[in-house]
Amino acid sequence: MKNKTLRNDLIILGILVVLIGGLFLFKSKQQGAKIVIKRNDQIEGYYSLDDDQIINIDNENKIQIKNHEVFMIKATCPDHLCIKQGKINKKGATIVCLPHHLVVEVIEGNEGKEDEKVY
């Protein structure tokens, strides 16, 4: 009787571990997330994190989206702190280039205006 109860408990525990792990993996991908790029408080555009691409901002900054992450790969500012900020992919995370008044922010896919073009 004890062996049967122990076996059933292990089966239930295994199912719970698989379900929790699946939910964690599903949530961590954040499919549908996008970034908004703002310069001088003006929106430059919305870009999907699902599409790998390189975005040039006035030959001063170069931003790359790759593997659902965004990061600055080139900047003409003197200190390059925006490049050193690394990769971001979580909602609310930002990359800021103060000399160029540039902000890159990760937002949820449904946060952008419907009439704005997503690149």
Q: Please give the Cα distance from 27 to 116 (Å, whole number).
A: 26
* Residues in the chain, total: 119
| Cross-strand pairs, 88 | 70
Structure confidence by residue, pLDDT tens digits, 19-31: 887 776 665 555 6
Q: Is the pTM of this model over 0.85?
A: no
Closest among 58, 88, 57, 62 to 73, alpha carbons compared: 62
Q: Please give the Cα distance from 3 to 17 (Å, whole number).
A: 21
**Amino acid at site 36:** V
Query: Where does residue 65 rank: exposed (0-12), middle (13-18), buried (19+ CB within 10 A)?
Result: buried
Mean pLDDT of 26-52: 84
Structure confidence by residue, pLDDT tens digits, 74-111: 999 999 999 999 999 999 999 999 999 999 999 987 66
